[in-house]
Structures are given as C-alpha cells and as structure tokens.
Amino acid sequence: MPRTPILPILSYCLVFAATTATAQPGSNVFTPPGTAKPVWVQPGTPGSPINGAVFHAQVLLSSAGFSSGVIDGKDGMSFKAAVRGFQQSRGLPATGKLDIATRRALLDRNRPSTVNVKLGRADIGGNYVYPFPKKAEGQAKLKWAGYRNMLEEVAERYHTTPDTIVALNGPTALIGIGQNLRLPNVLPASTDYQGSPLKPEHRAWFVKLNIDANEPQGDHVVIDKSEGLLKVIDDGDRLVAQFPVTTGSQHDPLPLGNWKVSTYAFLPPFHYQPDLFWDVDDSKDEKMLPPGPNGLVGVAWLDLTKDHYGIHGTPEPQTIGRTESHGCIRMTNWDVLRLSRMLKPGFKAEFRA
C-alpha cells in the first residue's frame, strides 16, 4: 500500500489560492512570497473567520435537513435561508435570524458543533489528481476525476471548505493518516441503507460523504430560482428539508413548470457535448468525461424528464448559490446524495421563477 505523506494543512490551501508558493526557511508552513507568517485566532473569538454561533447553527440545521451548503461559520445568504426554512418548518416566524426561539429549537438536537477525528483510510483515500485539468479535453484523458489532495477530500467528507479546516485547527496543523483534526460534526447516526438498491461502490460514497441513512422523507420538490433553493415537501404539504442550489442563467434559463425526476445515476461519467453549452465552440469534439467527485456533475445525476436537464453534484461546493449554471440544478455532492435518500425516483419537481 503506498504511503500517504503528512503535511501542514495550510500548504494545501495555498495550492488553491496561488500558483506559486515557497517554503520559508526553518518553517513547516508554506507561505506565499511577500506575506507574513500566518497568525491563528481561536474559532469563535474576535478576529477568527468563524462565527461560533453561526457555525454551530449550521451543523444543527444540517442535521435537521436544512443545509446552508458548506459549513463555514459565515453569516451569509445561504445561512439565513437555511434558518428561514427551519423556522418555517417549525412554525416559527421566518426571520432568518438566530433568535431565542430558533436557538432553543435547534439545541433540542443536542449535537456538538465539532468532532475530533483521527484521520484514517476512510478520510484519506488517495488517488489524487493534481493539477486537475480545467478544460474538458484534459479531463477526458483521465480515468477518474478525483480530489486534488487530502485537504480537499477531508473538507468534502465533513461538508466544509479547506479554509474552514485551517481556521478550526490552525495553519501548522498536520494532515495525514493518524493525524488528529477538529472538524464539523456531521457524523451520521446510521449508515445502514437498508432497502436501498445501491451498488457497493455507490454505497461506499454515501458512507464516504457522511450521509445519514435516516433522512426525512419527501413527496416532491419545489425549486425556486429567485430564492436559489430546493425545498423538499412531504405528502402532507409540509416543508421537511431545504438545500441551496445553483439554477440556470440568462443563456440557459431554468425550465419553469412541472417535471419529474425519472432515474438516479451515481458516479456517472458525463457526455460532454459542446453544442449544448453556449460558451463553448460548437466545432469542438464531443468527449466522455470520467466519473468522480471532481467531475462536471459530481457524484450523482438525478435525471429530469426534460432532455439534457438534471439535478446533480459539483466539483466546487463553495460556489453553490453564488454562480450560474448551464440550466441544470447544481448542489453540493453531499446534498445531492442526501436528496436521493429523501425521495424515490419518479418524484415531481416544480420549477418556479
């Protein structure tokens, strides 16, 4: 078995942020040229990028089925939307604010905000692809659209970002097999996916991304473009879960109306057809892109009855709700897997402006 290196987590963050980084003499932390040695501030204290109350609320909201996308301790639009959805589901005033009644309802879930994890093979699987090709022509040459490095893999497993892991642990913390990290507490109560027709290799990804076997059950979904939200509605017309999504653009608008999600595909390859992308030259050749978490549609594709449209994952979870798509409905990889546990194929999807 190949050995996995142990490295400072900040070095991986800088791979994403800069094309050149140098190791400073006498230091085990990689620092971009011209910058001072990073100073770590305890999460939840002044100067930290993590708001402790928001971070804990994000963890509790996620466990209740109301995702804010990445768990990062930031009081942004996705967080406020998750709070509003939770409030609505509990019959509370939908203010989007962490008022006393909302905090009490969330704290009933009795879940600490973080968990200390000794990293093992479940967290660090290897088979990394770096540098990861940006263009389809380069991706088509790969056999597997894997993670770029260990930090990206651990961040996705715990529904967060590389920067958040650095903020939680400090820039000198190490990552590798046997190392300990403080991570968002998204551990599932159960991974017993009984009654699910998942293939073993697909089931492994539900475990990999900490998907709970006991998700709330829905009847249909409503996707609201103006809000950037996918809402799961049960057969009693109650809101039971909610996710931030990226939906369409001026060039590829969301197809409004009623559709159905017919089939699910996990770890799908992607048939890249340039003529379906307004920003790609139609003369380019079609390509079959490999499966993997960093593939164009992530780890799952839930196929809509409208040709070429689906609900799918993404290689860039931090962009959900902040960028446009080519008409499809894009979610984080963990959220699209959760959604597949909440509804059976054949469910109705209503798209609203």
* Whether residue 339 sits in one domain with residue 246: yes
180, 119 Cβ separation under 8 angstroms? yes
Q: Would 173 be classed as within a structural domain?
A: yes
Domains in the chain, number:
2
Task: Give the whole-angstrom CA distance, residue 100 versus residue 296.
Answer: 41
CATH classification of the domain holding 327: 2.40.440.10
Residue 345, domain extent: 189-353
Q: What is the pLDDT of residue 23?
A: 32
Which of helix, strand or coil describes residue 100?
A: helix
Residue where a domain stops, chosen among 187, 202, 217? 187
Contacts of 120 (CB under 8 A, 6+ apart): 177, 178
Handedness of CA 269, 272, 277, 280 (dihedral sign): positive
Task: Give the whole-angstrom CA distance, residue 225 versus residue 246.
Answer: 8
Q: What is the mean pLDDT of residues 86-112?
A: 97
Task: Give the whole-angstrom CA distance, residue 223 versus residue 103.
Answer: 27
Q: Would 122 be classed as within a structural domain?
A: yes
Task: Give the whole-angstrom CA distance, residue 233 versus residue 295.
Answer: 29
> 231-249, pLDDT tens digit by residue?
999 999 999 999 999 996 6
Q: Would 330 be classed as within a structural domain?
A: yes
Indicate the length of the chain as a whole number.
353
> 178-208, pLDDT tens digit by residue?
999 999 999 999 999 987 789 999 999 999 9
199, exposed or middle or buried, with CB in 10 Å at 0-12, 13-18, 19+?
Answer: exposed
> If pLDDT is split at 50, 70 and 90, which confidence band does 322 have?
confident
145, 294 Cβ separation under 8 angstroms? yes
Q: State the pTM of this model.
A: 0.89
Catalytic residue (choose from 159, 202, 312, 326): 312
User: What are the structure tokens assigned to 79, written together?
Assistant: 């967080």
Active site residue 13: no
Catalytic residue (choose from 56, 202, 220, 328): 328
> 48-68, pLDDT tens digit by residue?
999 999 999 999 999 999 999
Q: Would 56 be classed as within a structural domain?
A: no
**Residue 334: alpha-carbon gap to chain centroid:** 5
* Whether residue 160 sits in one domain with residue 27: yes
Residue where a domain stops, chosen among 153, 187, 221? 187
Active site residue 159: no
The residue type at 149: N
> 205-222, pLDDT tens digit by residue?
999 999 999 999 999 999
